[in-house]
Structure 1
């Protein structure tokens, strides 16, 4: 299936929109890979800053694709894949960057059964100071055949765009990504569908940096209701895509799959509690979602202590008055809203539960 080990061609696709101040670091990190066969495609999605000048300054060392009309995350991914030729493909967000040995480590982990490799990332701030690890080390990746977990709850333990690498033939099967449904969060589409066609390989080492700052899509600030609604709708789009793709290979996704997913249920509770009027699911009830969340928490692959704490959190949100429930939700989902004593308690609990 692949050329001899060490010579698998790799493509790094960098989708960019108005990230001129971060873009150079992202491109440079791709050019600095110690692996000998890497092509770099930078897709600018009609930026309004000076991104195009930065891209043009690299000349022939990269392939530049400058879109005339902004199309969002999925459109940039689709454009990049069409321009690429690698058998392993990474999508690196323009505000993130890779460490020099990232591609070599990914290739070393690859085999013919692989559809996706995932790895941890350091969380860094705007000036590249390391703040944490994503996903947290105490959350074990799901590896191998994750299809049973996908069919059960529509999710497995994976990561974000810049911590993923995909098999080219798999991408050719599941792409292009539907652009209206995935203007943001295109990585969610890929990571949900790719495991239908092969194994997931996981690397616990941090191979790059995931930059958190005030304007990227990962940070909605304190707009909890808006963030929660977006994530709920994104999950529905993912599940529709999963159901369609699964049916093509003779698999069925249960209609209630997301009610087994604590991550989805957290956001769904947050949406319902913070802005019921605009909540996407009219018939939802706070107590029913909380009960489902508690049950799903106890099914997680985590320590008993972690599962019990999360189940108790769900139940407390379910029974508390709406105003108190909203505060408890906010404290968990938006760290910056926590009182100082809770922030310290959260860190202590995380150390104990790791």
Structure 2
């Protein structure tokens, strides 16, 4: 579908908002690629910290796009893409960074049918100490034509912004990203629609670092209900966009049916309902019905039987236990910091045993 030979121009778009303390590491990693034909575009989304001065210090080594008003993730993506020229486009979050061979690996993985390349990332803390891998190695990426899985369950195994690269023609078919609906989570929009236009190729090695810290959207701390509600609503917006785009290319998706097969969505929906029923976005949900659907969906996963069985048991526990106990079981899985010490020590052992 798409022909991308070696030597093709690549654009790295860095959306930034108030990440001055991480920005230099990020930009330096983009400029430090061992692949020659790379342009680096930095979009500042009206930061209030020292970001503008850092961006200015790079002069013409980068293309700077300084937005006058804060528009969020999608607006920054749209601005950066409009300014880019590469046939392959990476979106690199400003608090993350790439390893020097990231672009070379992506180009080497590309073929004529590729719409998207996805890679694992090291999870690092604020001091760049490696803590883990995302997605976990025991969860295999979905590759090739992922549309059957996407239409069936509304999701496939992918990664976050900084582990993604897209074919320009694909992005031209699905952008601009709706800015109000995807003020946060713009990468979710892209990975949901890109497979309509080609194959997904996967790199199992880590090509960069995904930084977890107290200020980024991936960390909600104690706000389990808020996080779950946001993710449920984000899924609804993703599936609405997929349904609209799929109909344009002669495919059909039924969001309500797809959600029944998606344990990730059902997990967050159960968390939202259990943690704060009053603000839960789906009025007629019940804990038991969500738990039962989650248990069934668990056994459809691409994972070991042990992992699937443990997840199914977790769903049933949250669905059937008294609410206070269910909340404890929920938080132990979704928020590592809430686990009792003995569970924290056991978690990695259990995770590897389930791989």
TM-score (norm 1): 0.99
Kindly indicate whether residue 350 of structure 2 is the aligned counterpart of residue 349 of structure 1: yes
Gaps of 5+ in 1: none
Task: Give the 5 Å matches for 1:1-354.
Answer: 2=3, 5-254=5-254, 255-354=256-355
CA deviation profile, 1:10-58 (whole Å, cap 9, x unmatched): 0000000000000000000000000010000000000000100000000
Q: Is the 8 A contact 1:185 1:234 kept in 2?
A: yes
How many aligned positions are there?
353
Distance in 1 (CA, whole Å) between partners of 2:347 and 2:205 is: 24
Does the residue aligned with 2:260 lie in a helix, a strand or coil?
helix
Kindly report structure 1 stretches of 4+ aligned residues shifted beyond 6 Å: none
Q: Is the 8 A contact 2:74 2:184 kept in 1?
A: yes
Quote the offset at 1:259 in angstroms.
1.4
Distance in 2 (CA, whole Å) between partners of 1:284 and 1:326 is: 17
Q: What do you get for the CA RMSD once the two structures are aligned?
A: 0.7
Q: Is the 8 A contact 1:213 1:219 kept in 2?
A: yes
Distance in 2 (CA, whole Å) between partners of 1:73 and 1:313 is: 33
Distance in 1 (CA, whole Å) between partners of 2:54 and 2:347 is: 41
Quote the offset at 1:6 in angstroms.
2.4
CA deviation profile, 1:290-342 (whole Å, cap 9, x unmatched): 00000000000000000000000001111001111111111100111111111
Gaps of 5+ in 2: none
Distance in 2 (CA, whole Å) between partners of 1:203 and 1:122 is: 13
Q: Is the 8 A contact 1:2 1:8 kept in 2?
A: no
Quote the offset at 1:2 in angstroms.
4.2
CA deviation profile, 1:65-109 (whole Å, cap 9, x unmatched): 000000000000000000000000000000000000000000000
- Which shifted more, 319-328 or 285-294? 319-328
Does the residue aligned with 2:64 lie in a helix, a strand or coil?
strand
Distance in 2 (CA, whole Å) between partners of 1:327 and 1:193 is: 36
Does the residue aligned with 2:22 lie in a helix, a strand or coil?
helix
Q: Is the 8 A contact 2:263 2:297 kept in 1?
A: yes
Q: Is the 8 A contact 2:34 2:101 kept in 1?
A: yes
Does the residue aligned with 1:171 lie in a helix, a strand or coil?
helix
Q: Is the 8 A contact 1:146 1:199 kept in 2?
A: yes
Q: Is the 8 A contact 2:3 2:113 kept in 1?
A: no
Distance in 2 (CA, whole Å) between partners of 1:158 and 1:2 is: 23
Does the residue aligned with 1:256 lie in a helix, a strand or coil?
helix
Distance in 1 (CA, whole Å) between partners of 2:263 and 2:341 is: 26
